[in-house]
Structure 1
């Protein structure tokens, strides 16, 4: 029998879930921007306990998908 207290595995930083506030600080954007991106399906989120959470891997993919080149400026 395994309990959470006996668990020896630690979650890697890629598995860490970010809150909306964490994400806003990380991307230096407003909460409105984050909610808008989630609402339009451009940023993946999970709803846990009625609050949005973001996997770091999904955030990195979002940033890479929105990368611009010199000609896009």
Structure 2
């Protein structure tokens, strides 16, 4: 597996964060994704000032496709 390390100095300064409509509301088990950036930052919705995992656009697309297809295990 090839990975590229990217970082966001302060993810809380990014705009366009959103939660999936499938996230279940306010149960506190949600991820947020920021739109409109060269990379795709993902963070824990409970920790808006915390770190973000940053995917390349292709990496994020592959990750979501794998989730939808049930190809990831815990």
More strand by share: 2
Which one has the largest radius of gyration? 1
TM-score where L is the length of structure 2: 0.26
Higher relative contact order (CA 8 A, sep 6+): 1
TM-score where L is the length of structure 1: 0.26
